[in-house]
């Protein structure tokens, strides 16, 4: 199926994008890697009148590692994240996640900004961003703002981004010693999307017990979320099997667990619990230098 007709503009600067978004707020769409947008246009689920291509904006492809945070430009591709040595040493969870996004073609073109803006309920990065306590940097003609990740995913395919905003970068706080993280994913064998994906980032104290923990869940509900009751139950524990088993029981409380041909709700809920246990186990081992 072909998309509905549209005008096309290849943007030359961030200002160029912001001006066009202000003028065509409800009728324009940004084109990044196109791996999510073009399929929905072909299905005519989206019919933008204007496509603003942001692929020439090299300033959105920067990666910078500062003393207290890492900034990743919105147009950084999954392949770059999977292979960049600075990312590998500063935030290895992202490397782990980027490696399991789709296939090589998807990773070559798809971008982290596009993935977060699209907010597919089965996308991998949302879980990682929640675990890493990232913030999303957005710009519009009115200026720049940082959106805490806990406020970013607002529902099925929806985020806190305003229609005239460009996601420019993702900021992730640097971590110190006794930090461990892991991503566990049950991938759909056809598309690679997460049936369920769990990201865990934690720190341990001198006794090796969990000092702080953030868990991001993708695939289970209509949008990525943090099971905060599980996090609370694990703080102060050594993450032993009995504690973990008891803690994960509330992992889907209050969540309308998705049900589709890839798995009924009770199956997804169980996978969610089991993958949280695995991810916590691995993150703990890494924090404690095992
Ligand atoms: C076969 C296949 C398998 C896939 N498997 C996976 C998988 O396993 N895991 C996974 O997480 N994803 C998967 N994806 C999705 C893939 O990661 C996409 O690249 C990603 O979801 C969207 O990124 P994009 O750069 O292609 O964005 P686009 O498709 O260009 O844009 C997506 C949406 O975001 C908006 N947008 C893009 N950039 C910005 C910006 N900077 N600011 C504001 N809005 C913006 C666009 O207007 C559009 O609405 C798969 C895709 C395909 C086709």
Query: What distance in Å separates the CA atoms of residue 73 and residue 111, rounded to the nearest whole number?
Result: 9
- Yes or no: domain 58-173 corresponds to CATH 3.30.465.10: yes
Mean pLDDT along residues 252-262: 93
pLDDT digit string, tens, across residues 121-147: 999 999 999 999 999 999 999 999 999
Question: What is residue 20's predicted lDDT score, i.e. its pLDDT?
Answer: 98
Q: How confident is the model at residue 117 (pLDDT cuts 50, 70, 90)?
A: very high
Res. 262 pLDDT band, cuts 50 70 90: confident
CATH number, domain 7-53: 3.30.43.10
pLDDT at res. 96: 97
Determine the average pLDDT of the residues in 99-127.
97
Instruction: Give yes or no for residue 290 having a pLDDT over 80.
Output: no
- The per-residue pLDDT for 71 is 98
pLDDT of residue 169: 98
> What pLDDT sits at residue 190?
87
Q: Whose CA is nearest to atom 20 of ligand 1?
A: 115
Which atom of ligand 1 lies at the shortest distance from residue 123's CA? 11
Contact present, 49 and 28 (Cβ < 8 Å):
yes
Angstrom distance (rounded) from CA 202 to CA 236: 12
pLDDT averaged over the chain?
96
Q: And the tokens for 92?
A: 């290895």
Binding pocket residue ranges, ligand 1, CB within 6 Å: 29-37, 74, 101-102, 106, 110-111, 113-115, 117-118, 120, 123-125, 161, 166-167, 191-193
Query: Which ligand 1 atom is nearest residue 138's CA?
Result: 42
Atom of ligand 1 lying closest to residue 125 CA: 11
Q: Which of 59, 98, 102 to mutate to test the pocket of ligand 1 (most atoms within 8 A of CB)?
A: 102
84 backbone dihedrals φ, ψ, rounded to 5°: -80, 125
Task: Give 104's contacts (C-beta < 8 A, 6+ positions apart).
Answer: 79
Second CATH level (architecture) for the domain 180-287: 2-Layer Sandwich (3.30)
Per-residue pLDDT at 224: 98
Which atom of ligand 1 is nearest to 78's Cα? Answer: 17
Rg (CA), the chain: 19
206-244 pLDDT tens trace: 999 999 999 999 999 999 999 999 999 999 999 999 999
| Position 1 confidence tier, pLDDT thresholds 50, 70, 90 | confident
Closest ligand 1 atom, residue 38 Cα: 29
Report residue 261's pLDDT band, with 50, 70 and 90 as the boundaries: confident
Residue 189: predicted pLDDT: 87
Name which of 99, 223, 82 is nearest 157 in CA terms: 223
Q: What residues contact 45, with CB distance under 8 A and at least 6 apart?
A: none
Q: What's the whole-number mean pLDDT along residues 70-85?
A: 98
Residue 104: pLDDT band (50, 70, 90) is very high
Query: How does pLDDT run across 162-172, given as a tens digit for each residue?
Result: 999 999 999 99
Among 75, 117, 168, the mutation site with the greatest number of ligand 1 atoms within 8 A of its Cβ is 117
Centroid of ligand 1 to alpha carbon of 212 (angstroms): 31
Q: For residue range 25-49, what is the model confidence (pLDDT) as tens digits?
A: 999 999 999 999 999 999 999 999 9
Spatial neighbors of 166 by CB under 8 A, at least 6 apart, are: 14, 17, 18, 21, 30, 54, 74, 138, 139, 140
Domain spans in the chain, listed from the N-terminal domain onward: 7-53, 58-173, 180-287
pLDDT at 143: 97
pLDDT over 70, % of the chain: 100
Per-residue model confidence (pLDDT) at position 176 = 87
C-alpha 194 – ligand 1 centre gap (Å): 14
């Amino acid at each position: 199926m072909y998309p509905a007709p549209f005008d096309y503009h290849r943007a030359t600067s961030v200002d160029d994008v912001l001006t066009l978004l202000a003028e065509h707020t409800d009728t324009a769409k940004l084109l990044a890697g196109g791996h999510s947008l073009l399929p929905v246009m072909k299905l005519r689920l989206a019919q933008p009148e204007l496509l603003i291509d942001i692929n020439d904006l090299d300033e959105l492809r920067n990666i910078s590692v500062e003393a207290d945070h890492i900034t990743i430009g919105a147009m950084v591709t999954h392949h770059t994240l999977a292979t960049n040595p600075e990312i590998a040493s500063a935030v290895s969870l992202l490397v782990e996640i980027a490696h399991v996004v789709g296939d090589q073609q998807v990773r070559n073109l798809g971008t982290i900004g596009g993935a977060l803006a699209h907010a597919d309920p089965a996308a991998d990065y949302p879980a990682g961003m929640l675990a890493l306590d990232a913030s999303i940097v957005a710009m519009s003609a009115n200026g720049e703002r940082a959106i805490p990740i806990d406020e970013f995913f607002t529902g099925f395919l929806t985020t806190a981004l305003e229609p005239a905003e460009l996601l420019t970068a993702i900021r992730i706080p640097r971590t110190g010693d006794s930090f461990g993280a892991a991503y566990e994913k049950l991938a759909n064998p056809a598309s690679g999307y997460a049936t369920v994906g769990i990201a865990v980032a934690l720190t341990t104290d001198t006794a090796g017990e969990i000092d702080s923990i953030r868990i991001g869940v993708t695939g289970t509900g209509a949008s990525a979320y943090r099971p905060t009751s599980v996090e609370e139950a694990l703080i102060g524990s050594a993450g032993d099997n009995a504690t973990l088993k008891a803690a994960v029981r509330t992992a889907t409380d209050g969540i309308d667990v998705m049900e589709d041909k890839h798995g009924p709700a009770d199956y997804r809920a169980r996978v969610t619990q089991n993958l949280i246990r695995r991810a916590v186990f691995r993150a703990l081992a890494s924090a404690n230098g095992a």
